[in-house]
A and B are shown apart, each in its own frame.
Chain A
Amino acid sequence: MGLLKKKTVLPGFGLSLGFTLFYLSLIVLIPLSAVFLRTTELSWDEFIAAVFSPRALASYRISFLASLTAALVNAFFGLILAWVLVRYPFPGKRVVDALVDLPFALPTAVAGITLTALFSANGWFGEWLEGTLGLKIAYAEPGIVVALTFIGLPFVVRTLQPVIEELEPELEEASAILGASRWQTLRKIVFPQLVPALLTGFALAFARALGEYGSVVFISGNMPLRTEITPLLIVTKLLQYDYAGATAVASAMLAASFVLLLLINLLQRWSRRYQNAN
């Protein structure tokens, strides 16, 4: 702990670090460790059985795949949205900008009910998608992705906007004057500078999607083994007074999420290697 002993001009390091650790413990670590503590009520075999039951495995697959897909969709379209919002003036820009935050504010159940109404077989989109194209969205896996995309969008847009605003126009000019086409400039100069923020936004949207429950339960149909997400499985177990089983599944989900977020973090650090090369 060299940093604790080293003299620094910034006062209050000890105090603020102490507070940070205390606060994090209170809000995050203690509740989370309670989850793990509760699982100890189970024997090892019971724990394994709960965590790796076919129903649980199916729910992990659905949760992670749907969250990943939703985060990827958000990363792609969020990037375009943020770019347009920063770079181009257009009438009603402020309204559009405010709309981006709506998924934050809307109760997720409302979002879920609305999306279900739209995408079910007799909804506006669903009628056409299902009737004409034969694509089943609501009460199927794509429905889960739709709901998770909806709630994750603001994370990507809001993390990218300030970074796009800070991009120096000279860099794009320098690239153009060296003979690069617009596409080359975007790909080789602009995009690499956005990657760290894009990864952050992606990680946030992904993490948010993993934990989402309220909107998904309305649109997914909740069929075990097919469209049941892990948070719902946990709630179902709780409703059946299987507290230990619920926490076992939850801890498995937690561990997996933590590893994935850590990986994204490392990837993000690697993408910024040129910033702190010293």
Chain B
Amino acid sequence: MSITAKNIKKTFGRYTALDGVSLEVPTGKLVALLGPSGSGKTTLLRIIAGLEFADTGSGGIFFDGEDVTQVPAGQRGVGFVFQHYALFRHLTVAENIAFGLKIRRRSERPTKKAIAEKVAELLHLIQLEDLGGRYPVQLSGGQRQRVALARALAIEPKVLLLDEPFGALDAKVRKDLRRWLRRFQDEIGLTTIFVTHDQEEALEIADEVVVMNNARIEQVGAPQEVYDRPTSSFVHRFLGNVNQITLPWGGLIDGSTAHVEDGVAFVRPHDIELVHFSEDRDGEAAVVYDIHAAGPVARVSARREGNNESVEIELPRSQLALLRLVEGDCVLLRARPKHPPVSEYAI
């Protein structure tokens, strides 16, 4: 089911959480709402879920073109997963999952047997078959979040909304769980929106990333697209590391990957090429002051000759070895061309 949000406005007192936001989520896609805290992403998700209502004068929320703006949360058919799980502590795992089915009116409620089968099926899906009788306090964070997901899925929602679903988990569990979510979403094709402030998470699993800042949407696009071609300085700064280089800069060439805005060029560390200084080549002169070579890529820090601005460059370790670079070396820097000819890779 597709989700449309039209011109959503939301203020809390004098604070504007959403300033006329419109969003289109196609059926079956996994979409990330990405932004710093306070950017309005959670508020947008909660308005889509029906947990919060947009200010009067907003456009509204549509599921498959149908206006659900006035429909209460419980009747929108959404599955919602909270950041801190929000599991019912006094109920067992199985009872938590069955809750949404058990409370239905008698005429709509599945039989006891059908509920038990559904619970078993979901426990199998989240790989917690043996823990149905446990209470939430007896589970780890990752297990709790999977139970929360199963509980949301039990009512067979038409859309799945997740609010910072992995935010409270440690790094390893986080990674496993988000890949699991991606595979799961691929299998059942449920339209899914998840909120995150972690750009790595958004870029890794989303079909489409919606970058939000200051109550507005900055950019919408595939992960590759928003990362490679940010349309604003905010997106540039927020997604991945970036050098902010004050112009004029000798290393700026036409057709480079640099994004220029208000006299500042934004260039990612891996989009800067580095060669030893020589008079007959173009580029910005700089002095290397730090080389950090742990991990798969080497990180070189250099200071521009002109204004002492610091620039970070990332390059493969093999290339660093070929360059025989040492601290104090004088180098030339330039932004990498968008489509470098093969020969450019030769040093």
B residues 122-145 with Cβ under 8 Å of A? 134-138
Q: Assess whether B78 is in contact with A177, with CB atoms less than 8 Å apart.
A: yes
B137 touches A278 (CB 8 A): yes
Known A176-B74, A177-B73, A179-B103; contact A274-B89, beta-carbon cutoff 8 A: yes
Q: How far is the CA of A175 from the CA of B90 in the complex (A)?
A: 13
User: Would you call A177 and B137 a contact (CB within 8 A)?
Assistant: no
**Contact of A277 with B100 in the complex, beta carbons under 8 Å:** no
In the complex, what's the smallest C-beta–C-beta distance from A37 to chain B, in angstroms?
A: 45
Check if B259 is an interface residue, CB within 8 A of chain A.
no
Q: Mark contacts of A189-230 with chain B using CB atoms, 8 A cut-off: 1 yes-contact digit, 0 otherwise.
A: 100110000000000000000000000000000000000000
A178 touches B135 (CB 8 A): no
* B4 to A: closest C-beta gap in Å: 20
**Pairwise interchain contact A179-B137, C-beta atoms closer than 8 A:** no
The interface-forming segment of A48-56, A166-174, A258-266 is: A166-174
User: Does any Cβ of A come within 8 Å of B51's Cβ?
Assistant: yes
Q: Does A180 contact B (CB under 8 A)?
A: yes
A174 x B74 contact (CB < 8 A) = no
Q: Which of B89, B104, B134, B135 has the most CB of A within 10 A?
A: B89
Nearest CB in chain A: distance from B76 CB, A: 8
CB distance from A18 to the nearest CB of B (A): 33
Q: On chain B, which size bracket covers the interface?
A: 20 to 34
Q: Say yes or no for B88: interface residue by CB 8 A criterion.
A: yes
Residues of A within 8 A of B (CB-CB), count: 22
- Grouping DSSP codes into helix (H, G, I), strand (E, B) and loop, the A interface class, with mixed when no group exceeds half, is helix
Give the Cβ gap from B75 to chain A, nearest Cβ, in Å. Answer: 7
Chain B residue contacts of A188, Cβ below 8 A = 99, 103
* Contact present for B82 and A178 (CB under 8 Å): no
Q: Does A275 contact B (CB under 8 A)?
A: yes
Contacts of A276 in B (CB 8 A): 137
On whether the beta carbons of B74 and A168 are closer than 8 Å, the reply is no
B276 to chain A, nearest CB (A): 58
Chain B residues lying within 8 Å of A278, measured Cβ to Cβ, are 137-138
A184 lies within 8 A of chain B by Cβ: yes
A189 touching B88, Cβ below 8 Å: yes
| Complex A-B: 15 CB contacts under 8 Å | A168-B84, A170-B82, A171-B86, A173-B80, A173-B86, A174-B86, A174-B88, A179-B155, A180-B100, A180-B103, A181-B74, A188-B99, A274-B89, A274-B135, A275-B137
Please give the residue numbers on chain B whose beta carbons come within 8 Å of chain A beta carbons, in ascending order. Answer: 49-51, 72-76, 78, 80, 82, 84, 86, 88-91, 99-100, 103-104, 134-138, 151-152, 155
Q: Which 3 A-B pairs rank lowest in CB-CB distance, beginning with the nearest?
A: A178-B100, A170-B86, A179-B74
Seed contacts A177-B78, A188-B103; 9 additional CB < 8 Å A-B pairs: A174-B82, A177-B73, A177-B76, A179-B74, A179-B155, A192-B90, A193-B89, A274-B137, A275-B137
**A residues engaging B (CB < 8 A)?**
168, 170-171, 173-181, 184, 188-189, 192-193, 274-278
